[in-house]
Amino acid sequence: MKKQKYNIQVFAAGVLSLKETPGGYFKMKLAASGIAKAARPGQFISLQVNASGMPLMRRPMGIFSANKGAVEILFKAAGKGTEMLSRKKQGESVSVLGPLGNGFSVREELRHAILVAGGYGVSPIAFLYEELRKRKITTTVIIGAKNKKLIFKEGFSNPIITTEDGSEGFKGLVTERLNAACAGFACGSSAVFACGPVPMLKAAAEVSEKHGIECQVSMESLMACGVGVCLSCVCAVKEGMDTGYKRICADGPVFDSREIVWRT
Amino acid sequence: MADLKVKIAGIKMKNPVMLASGTCGFGEEFSRIFDLNLLGGIIVKGTTLKPRAGNKPPRAAETPYGMLNSIGLQNPGVFAVINEKLPFLRQFDLPVFVNIAGNSKEEYAELARLLGNAKGVSALEVNISCPNVKHKNSGLFCQDLGDVYAITRAVKRQSRVPVFVKLSAEVSDFKETVKTAVRAGADGLSLINTLRGMAIDIKTGKPKLANIIGGLSGPAIKPVGIRAVYEAFSQVKVPIIGMGGIASAEDALEYLIAGASAVAVGTASFYDPLTPISITKGLKKYFEDKPSDSVSKIRGRISF
Ligand SMILES: Cc1cc2nc3c(=O)[nH]c(=O)nc-3n(C[C@H](O)[C@H](O)[C@H](O)COP(=O)(O)OP(=O)(O)OC[C@H]3O[C@@H](n4cnc5c(N)ncnc54)[C@H](O)[C@@H]3O)c2cc1C
Ligand SMILES: Cc1cc2nc3c(=O)[nH]c(=O)nc-3n(C[C@H](O)[C@H](O)[C@H](O)COP(=O)(O)O)c2cc1C
Ligand code: FES
């Protein structure tokens, strides 16, 4: 019998710290050495916010950092589950499942990366940014938000900020800044990595494709299992002449933008 | 050590804890989390003759103590299942039940012929209760006693392995449905499939599922499953795989006492993939404390 490799863990992780951050986020640090060692940027974990079944499903969260036996997540208290998560205390534990998903793929030839983040999409982008720095790959970081109050830019040096109301950085959407950034780099040795709301991902895909630059988008959906067994989290993809479906949790969450069939 | 071994329709299992169809794929994913050899058995995803893309997303919604799904039987088709999925499962010491779904009696029969002869299939589970595919009058096959009889009979004729018929509790005469399946030759029953439900986003006024209606599963439906198993056990002698909201050893015991011979874990695996392992542990402990009892002895032992 073939020896099986157990590379997805599920266990009760201790909460090492929980802090509020600029942009209205919560940053939670969890003791999870196995996940910290294995995790790649763009992967996520899934947390059981309440063991008594309300809410029933785990909540998926991108990995913000993975260092020295700990994993950090960055989240918004957006609804009942994340609200409960934001009230956890240091020393309590939360069941985590992970690491999940494929993560971003960084080609050998990559010399320059353009990172585009919207909302909590900044979390996996921050992890990727650290990784690229270690690999001496230069970056242009573009962070977009509705207004100044929602910006999280900790850890990035000189990010380009865009706000819809102009309260910080450039007024408008990330698209224009991305367009300018793409124009400055050769397509073969650069790539765009985007994580954020779907309209932003779609716009990032269009701009990158126009410039002939590879674009990786991190998709999201409601997830029941997070590991690929339930088929609830699919997105439409091009399959030859047809449309098929791929699982965002297991085949993604990161996809080549050219593969996605964007819903209008 | 308490012995949890069971034998259903001639199939030997190490313990009575299985994984329910559509909630464990074809085993690959969970094999990355735990040792599949610890399971009593696995019931793989609903398989159709041709590959199916499934329904449009969103396909799931969370509900109180449960969830709605409208996956629409996305699967790679019977040939890919035989050539790509079953070989993987053959490396485990694990009875494999293949769940089949068709659009007609003929399709079910063809699936039974192909899978009944495939290597590594212990039994067939005939899904005539899927709420996510459209049948002639947009109801479920199992809501028509004529269809229950004809499909079960057709599958039985073609299959070389035992046939379990999977029913919904959403039928007008449940006892009669159960008896019809057994009269047509079912070697066992799987009870229950999901119950049709709906959820609406009050902010947008839109249904939460693209398919509008989906199947409700999870702890919320457990009492319906218990009732179905109890009623079926009162009518027929064949083994019953009980399912619907099982998340703990206590839930499993409740199903066994209601009349189940084995149980299957579905939705609970989503929020805790180790549920089947903890259920097996819990059952071991239960029977260690009661050495004169066993899984088969407590079957149907309700004290009124
Ligand atoms: C791969 C992945 C990575 C994610 N990473 C992060 C992250 O790093 N930080 C973060 O804050 N959030 C992240 N999310 C989103 C987060 O999982 C949801 O916000 C969360 O599940 C909402 O739960 P809730 O109980 O608070 O909200 P609910 O009360 O369930 O719903 C509140 C609102 O959130 C929406 N929602 C529910 N589930 C999801 C979901 N899975 N994705 C998007 N919207 C949802 C609902 O439609 C509703 O509008 C990620 C989601 C995915 C799929
Ligand atoms: C996402 C999902 C997919 C399912 N797919 C199938 C299927 O393909 N065939 C089938 O017979 N039942 C399918 N079911 C039903 C389950 O096998 C089971 O009967 C039901 O969910 C009740 O058990 P539970 O409450 O433990 O989930 C599915 C259930 C869920 C939640
Ligand atoms: S969430 Fe279950 S397959 Fe992706």
Confidence label for B115 from pLDDT (cuts 50, 70 and 90): very high
Per-residue pLDDT for A20 more than 90?
A: yes
Q: What is the pLDDT of residue A1?
A: 44
In the predicted structure, residue B78 carries a pLDDT above the cut 70: yes
Cα A237 from Cα A244, distance rounded (Å)? 5
pLDDT confidence of residue A242: 76
Q: What percent of chain B has pLDDT over 90?
A: 91
Residue-level pLDDT at B138: 57
Residue A3 pLDDT greater than 60, yes or no: no
Q: Which domain holds residue B27?
A: 6-56+73-196+217-289
Checking if the pLDDT of A164 tops 90, the result is: yes
The CATH code that applies to domain A9-100 is 2.40.30.10
Asked if residues A107 and A191 have their Cβ atoms less than 8 Å apart, the reply is: yes
Domain count, chain B: 1
Would you call A6 and B57 a contact, using CB atoms and an 8 Å cutoff? no
Does B296 fall in a domain? no
The domain spans of chain A are 9-100
Instruction: Give residue B273's pLDDT.
Output: 98
One-character DSSP codes across chain B: -----EEETTEEESSSEEEPTTSSTTSTTGGGTS-GGGSSEEEEEEE-SS-B--PPSP-EEEETTEEEE-----B--HHHIIIIIHHHHTTSS--EEEEE--SSHHHHHHHHHHHHTSTT--EEEEE---TTS--TTSS-GGGSHHHHHHHHHHHHHH-SS-EEEEE-S-SS-HHHHHHHHHHTT-SEEEE---EEEE-B-TTT--BSSTTSEEEEESGGGHHHHHHHHHHHHHH--S-EEEESS--SHHHHHHHHHHT-SEEEE-THHHH-TTHHHHHHHHHHHHHHHSTT--TTTTTT----
| Poorest-pLDDT segment among A37-46, A81-90, A238-247 | A238-247
For residue A158, give the amino acid letter: N
Active-site hit among B43, B111, B112, B130 = B130
Nearest CA-CA partner of A254 in A199, A212, A214, A211: A214
* Among B218, B215, B216, B225, CA closest to B247: B218
* Interface predicted TM-score (ipTM) of this complex, two decimals: 0.95
β-partners of residue A141 are: A115
Residue of B19, B29, B269 to mutate, interface with A, max A Cβ within 10 Å: B29
Chain A's closest residue to B93, CA to CA, is: A1
Contact B38, A31 (CB under 8 A): no
- Whole-model pTM over 0.80: yes
Q: Please confirm, yes or no, whether B24 is among the known catalytic residues.
A: no
Residue nearest to atom 3 of ligand 3 (CA): A228
* CA A60–ligand 1 middle distance (angstroms): 7
Contact between chains at B69 and A232 (C-beta distance less than 8 A): yes
High-pLDDT (> 90) share of chain A, %: 90
Cα B116 to middle of ligand 1, angstroms: 43
B168 and B232 Cβ atoms separated by less than 8 Å: no
Can you give the pLDDT at residue A211? 92
Pick from A2-11, A127-136, B1-10: least confident: A2-11
**pLDDT tens digits, residue range A82-126?**
999 999 999 999 999 999 999 999 998 899 999 999 999 999 999
- Residue A204 in 3-state DSSP? helix
Judge: A57–B274 Cβ closer than 8 Å, yes or no.
no
Here the CATH number for the domain that contains residue B18 is 3.20.20.70
Q: In a 3-state reduction of DSSP, which class is residue A85?
A: helix
Q: Does B62 reside within a domain?
A: no
Closest ligand 3 atom to A229 CA:
3
When computed from its CA atoms, the radius of gyration of chain A, rounded to whole angstroms, is: 18
Cα(A230) to centroid(ligand 3), Å:
5
When the pLDDT of each residue in chain B is averaged and rounded to a whole number, the result is: 95
Q: What is the pLDDT of residues B124-174, one digit of tens each?
A: 999 998 776 666 555 788 888 989 999 999 999 999 999 999 999 999 899
Which tens digits make up the pLDDT trace of B247-267? Answer: 999 999 999 999 999 999 999
Report yes or no on B206 lying in a domain: no
CB A75 within 8 A of CB A30: no
Instruction: Calculate how close chain B gets to A88, using CA atoms only, in Å.
Output: 19
Q: How far is CA A70 from CA A14, A20, A37, A73, B151, in A?
A: 10, 18, 9, 10, 55
Which has the minimum average pLDDT: A185-194, B176-185, B235-244? A185-194
- Considering the domain boundaries, does residue B22 fall inside one? yes
Confidence at A239, pLDDT banded by 50, 70, 90: confident
